[in-house]
Amino acid sequence: MKSLFPSFFLMLATATDRELARQIQYLKIENRILRDKLPKRLTVTAQERQRLLKYGKPLGAAIRALITIVSPRTFARWISGETNRRKEGKPAKQGRPQTPEDIRELVLRLARENAWGYTRILGELRKLNITKISRSTVIKILKEHGLEPGPRRVEGSWDDFLKRHAESLWASDFFSKKVWTMTGLVEVFVLFFIHLGSRRVHVAGATVNPDRAWMMQQARNMVLIFDQEPVKPKYLLRDRDSKFVHEFDAILTLEGIAVTPIGVRAPNQNAVTERFVQSVRRECLDHFIVFGETHLRYLLSEYLAYYHQHRPHQGLANRPLGWTEPPVAEMDRPLGDVVCHERLSGLLRHYQRSAA
């Protein structure tokens, strides 16, 4: 390769103008064939760019007929940038300026909190007087973070539905407990309702025979209780247990509550009720042999008092129900003032600091 260049320049030095024109024409065709076999866009290093500028600038306007590695416009921009650097004494910035980080974060927030596409997001940015961002930039930001630029056309996931309606959404379910009576061992069914937003539980009733008349009465009772709620329920989730008779649904529907059965064998769609059943059994009922319905109701009332007032809930950042903020840390007070309070002969315990 080293011996090729002296021969090439010797040929140029001894050639006539006509021969030079033919040689240049051949080199242009050969260069075009080679360029067609390469990627459409080639990147050059700063050193390579300087070499192209060194030999291309003296050609003037003739460079337009020769240059193929970049467009003539790009070459002209290189020349302009080099001139500006000489004037300012610092390197010129290349390409478009980066979108400010706070605008990028806002684009991602709008996409994640809504079912909007890039056009709707761009409109919201314009409304906020953010004008230095284009439609293509919004699309690029979304794609870089794995978000679909188009709007979501579906209704959303079941989890989205639960979160969206948590304040007006209740769920209902049964659990049962074997109870000893004068006639022997019987199974008592407990119907309860739970508010998904706050996790508050209301035990509607317990019976050995949850027949049609009993279920209708529980629905009427719950209508009175729901009327006292600060946010009236709009939806009630339940499973497809045959104990939920048509009349039960009808009474609630007349009050504007949409009864929504979950899927067949899909307990995860009513996971909050399933979790409460697991808690009341594991933390309370499984530890007792229950004698009669009165004993069962007492155990449930004690557990619900503990559940609502003192038990931390993982779904609520380990806070008891009704707490609006965590207690202020008292690191200057010794831990010896922590006292234990008990229910059900020590089965249910919670701890508090003693009064100062």
| End-to-end alpha carbon distance in the chain | 91
pLDDT (tens digit, 0 to 9) for every residue of the chain, 356 residues total? 455 555 555 555 555 666 767 777 787 787 778 777 777 677 778 778 788 888 878 877 777 777 777 778 888 887 777 555 555 555 555 556 788 888 889 998 888 888 788 888 888 888 888 888 888 899 999 888 888 888 764 455 656 666 666 788 999 999 999 999 999 999 999 999 999 888 899 999 999 999 999 999 999 999 999 999 988 899 999 999 999 999 999 999 999 999 999 888 887 888 889 999 999 999 999 999 999 999 999 999 999 999 998 888 877 777 888 676 555 555 555 656 778 889 998 899 877 777 65
Cross-strand pairs, 260 = 237
Cα–Cα distances in Å, from 316 out to 232, 291, 331?
Answer: 22, 34, 24
What is the reported pLDDT for 181? 92
Please tell me the predicted confidence (pLDDT) of residue 172: 96
Q: What is the pLDDT of residue 93?
A: 54
Angle at 277 between CA 276 and CA 282, to 5 degrees: 100
- Report the distance separating Cα 262 and Cα 272, nearest Å: 13
With both helix axes pointing from N to C terminus, report the angle between 101-113 and 135-144 in degrees, rounded to the nearest 10: 70
User: In angstroms, rounded to a whole number, what is the distance separating the alpha carbons of residues 348 and 282?
Assistant: 11
Two tokens at 196?
A: 């998904």
**Interstrand relation of 348-353 and 338-343 (parallel, antiparallel or unpaired):** antiparallel
Check residue 83 and give its pLDDT: 53
Which pLDDT value is given to residue 32? 77
pLDDT of residue 7: 59
Backbone angles phi, psi at 160, to 5 degrees: -60, -40
Alpha-carbon gap, residue 62 to 56, rounded angstroms: 9
What is the predicted pLDDT for the residue at 1? 47
pTM of the model: 0.56
